[in-house]
Amino acid sequence: MYAVARFCSKITNSLNHIDIIALLVIGVLFIALFIVWQGYLERVQNDSTISQSKWIPPPLMKLSLWTRGRGRFAAVMVIVLLTWCSFVSWNYWSQVYPFHLFLFTI
């Protein structure tokens, strides 16, 4: 969040700061590693030849869930994401825009 906030801020040449680039790269890397780890945990849970251990937890969300119904679940999740994003942006501008109008009329 810090890297995205600094990148989107009014700071000039924000991409020239090494901490921004490093945090963005590390964040993307951790997300990719998390997805790979969840896929590994799903394979281990589904494989009957591997003995189950208390140190191997079940995955938080099975990756095979996204392909359920020939991708319909993934499509629904994308629609939910876009709906939520539009709601949040509408909520922000519905509160900020009248405030700016009030300031400029004074």
Is the overall model pTM greater than 0.75, yes or no? no
19-71 pLDDT tens trace: 777 888 999 999 999 999 999 999 998 888 877 777 888 899 899 999 888 99
Mean pLDDT to the nearest integer, 88-96? 86
User: How confident is residue 10, by pLDDT bands cut at 50, 70 and 90?
Assistant: low
Pairwise CA distance, residues 91 & 78, whole Å: 20
Q: Per residue in 2-31, is it b (16+ CB within 10 Å) or e — as a string? A: ebeebeeeeeeeeeeeeebeebeeeeeeee
Mean residue pLDDT of the chain comes to 83
